[in-house]
């Protein structure tokens, strides 16, 4: 007899068997002859050995992705090997580089999609081949691979020189030993002025070929440079029929295009010129030369070096005069004493010599201070600032008859003046444009004033007189000298009273006995 527990276990096992057989009977059968190629996705390489459920998740066949990136990426429904973090940064399809499904190794990049100048993104020595050890300076170190290399082969490499800055062949780190097979060797042509360490490749060579290599004369050539190369060995020199001279080529040959057109040696009677001035400065061509200020800037500033008849007969069309006989000049003078300022185109601007009856001028005053141009003379304050401040030196009839339009009067007879006065005694302040500002002679009935007081102290301007304290400070402090009716009748609006009759005053008193001095009112 079985125990109840055993009977229960046997019944449960029987039920599991029945359900299992039922499930097995319900599972659909799949033909082993199914052609997967008919789906458009061939099972090759690693895909042929991968379990079906790895791609057909949950037994779902329809809609399974066929693109590589739909599976071989993180976060996808189908879990497959994704791009590693070291992968080239690209959004191109996997099969544009990976040509089989057996392995990811052996990928071949299609450089047709590569962006110019971005080679180092991959060719960095980590992802793929990088710069070799000899690419350690200049553009080899900093430039992009495609500056020299092609995308299908490393060698031969050729640099595109378009856009390269002139004279940087060596400084850019290209044409130097150890970086390029083309560099200046130790036995490169060298002269005192053609030093391989001074000149750059492109001053002789072109970017197309190393030979022929004519020197490019694009630098200023100071004296002595030409013969450093043009010695008949390094470069063409003087031929057998050349003029006998030790001068450098540039002395006569003013162009680097041709030897023709030389100016010839400098004649012995050439105009003296400043040190360092080259022939071409004055002689733009062998048959022309500059004139005027441009020419004179290169020669001595002492005009009589050439223009005096006592100077040598230098070449050129020069006007000459004999200083000492010319227009009252002296032998020690230079032309600029009268021809001021020099304009180098005409002699007509000369002031001429100072006449004997010239107005006396202050010591050191140059002619041009007053003589602004030929025939034009300064006037007013500008002129008077250069002459004597004593007006009667010119304006008194007893003064010499100096040149100029000078108004003259006879001091002592003029408007009550005296002979020892100057014009400024009445014409104060002087304005140098009109005489109408004169105060006139002091009248006989003028208020008595303190000794030494100038007219302008009270007479502020023509017709205007100071009043109050300003006026009284210059006159007698005894008020009754003017304000008593017994005093003279001086000019002015003076209030007068009779002391002795006025308000119990006495004749011996002064106004200040009762009135405080405020000079504006008697009320106090």
pLDDT band with cut points at 50, 70 and 90 for residue 506: very high
Residue 295 has what pLDDT?
Answer: 93
Token duo for residue 456: 């302008």
Mean pLDDT of the chain: 81
Give start and end residues of each alpha helix (H) in 430-496.
468-472, 480-483
pLDDT for residue 261 is more than 80: no
* H/E stretch holding 305: helix 304-307
What does the DSSP assignment read for 172-220? TTSSSTTT-S-S--TTS--BTTB-TTTS-GGGT--SS-SSS------S-
251, HSE (Cβ side, Cα atoms, 13 Å): 12
Residue 275 has what pLDDT?
Answer: 87
Read off the pTM.
0.33
pLDDT for residue 198 is more than 70: no
pLDDT band with cut points at 50, 70 and 90 for residue 28: very low
In this predicted model, what pLDDT tens digit does every residue of 338-359 receive, in sequence order? 887 777 888 877 777 678 899 9
pLDDT band with cut points at 50, 70 and 90 for residue 194: low
| Spatial distance between the Cα atoms of 447 and 445, rounded to a whole number of angstroms | 6
Token duo for residue 286: 């062998």
pLDDT band with cut points at 50, 70 and 90 for residue 307: very high
Residue 212 gets the label, from left (phi > 0), alpha (psi -120 to 50) or beta, of: beta
In this predicted model, what pLDDT tens digit does every residue of 381-395 receive, in sequence order? 999 999 988 999 999
pLDDT band with cut points at 50, 70 and 90 for residue 29: very low
Asked if residue 224 lies in contact with residue 251, where contact means CB atoms within 8 angstroms, the answer is no
Residue 23 has what pLDDT?
Answer: 40
In this predicted model, what pLDDT tens digit does every residue of 262-303 receive, in sequence order? 777 678 899 999 988 878 788 887 778 899 999 999 998 899
Burial class of 40 by CB neighbour count within 10 A (0 to 12, 13 to 18, 19+): exposed
Token duo for residue 463: 């017709």
- Sign of the C-alpha dihedral, residues 254, 256, 262, 265? positive
């Amino acid at each position: 007899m079985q125990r109840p527990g055993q009977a229960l276990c046997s019944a449960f096992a029987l039920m599991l068997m029945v359900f299992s057989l039922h499930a097995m009977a319900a599972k659909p059968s799949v033909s082993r002859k199914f052609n997967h190629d008919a789906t458009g996705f061939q099972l090759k390489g690693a895909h042929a050995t991968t379990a079906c459920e790895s791609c057909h998740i949950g037994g779902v066949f329809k809609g399974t992705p066929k693109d590589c990136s739909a599976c071989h990426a993180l976060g996808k429904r189908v879990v497959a090997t994704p791009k590693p973090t070291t992968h080239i940064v690209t959004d191109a399809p996997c099969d544009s580089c990976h040509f089989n499904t057996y392995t990811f190794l052996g990928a071949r990049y299609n450089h047709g999609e590569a962006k110019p100048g971005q080679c180092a993104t991959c060719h960095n020595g980590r992802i793929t081949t990088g710069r070799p050890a000899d690419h350690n300076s200049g553009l080899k170190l900093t430039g992009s691979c495609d500056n020299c290399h092609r995308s299908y082969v490393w060698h031969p490499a050729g640099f595109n020189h378009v856009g390269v800055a002139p004279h940087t062949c060596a400084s850019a780190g290209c044409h130097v030993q150890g970086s390029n097979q083309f560099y200046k060797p130790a036995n490169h042509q060298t002269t005192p002025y053609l030093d391989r360490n001074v000149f750059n490749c492109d001053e002789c060579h072109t970017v197309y070929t190393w030979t022929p290599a004519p020197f490019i004369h694009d630098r200023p050539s100071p004296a002595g440079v030409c013969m450093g190369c043009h010695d008949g060995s390094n470069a063409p020199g003087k031929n057998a029929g050349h003029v006998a001279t030790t001068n450098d080529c540039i002395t006569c040959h003013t162009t680097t295009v041709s030897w023709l057109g030389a100016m010839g040696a400098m004649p012995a009677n050439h105009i003296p010129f400043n040190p360092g001035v080259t022939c071409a400065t004055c002689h733009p061509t062998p048959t022309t030369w500059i004139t005027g200020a441009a020419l004179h800037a290169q020669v001595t500033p002492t005009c009589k070096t050439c223009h005096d008849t006592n100077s040598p007969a230098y070449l050129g069309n020069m006007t000459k005069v004999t200083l000492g006989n010319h227009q009252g000049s002296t032998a020690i003078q230079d032309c600029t004493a009268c021809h001021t300022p020099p304009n180098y185109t005409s002699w007509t601007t000369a002031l001429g010599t100072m006449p004997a009856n010239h107005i006396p001028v202050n010591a050191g005053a140059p002619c041009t201070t007053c003589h602004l141009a030929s025939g034009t003379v300064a006037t007013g304050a500008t002129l008077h600032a250069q002459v004597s401040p004593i007006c009667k030196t010119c304006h008194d009839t007893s003064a010499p008859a100096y040149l100029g339009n000078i108004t003259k009067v006879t001091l002592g007879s003029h408007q009550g003046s005296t002979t020892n006065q100057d014009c400024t005694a009445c014409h104060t302040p002087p304005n140098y444009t009109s005489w109408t500002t004169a105060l006139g002679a002091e009248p006989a009935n003028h208020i008595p004033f303190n000794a030494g007081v100038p007219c302008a102290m009270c007479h502020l301007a023509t017709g205007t007189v100071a009043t109050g304290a300003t006026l009284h400070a210059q006159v007698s402090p005894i008020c009754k000298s003017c304000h008593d009716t017994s005093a003279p009748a001086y000019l002015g609006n003076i209030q007068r009273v009779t002391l002795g009759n006025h308000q119990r005053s006495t004749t011996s008193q002064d106004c200040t006995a009762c009135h405080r001095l405020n000079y504006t009112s008697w009320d106090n």
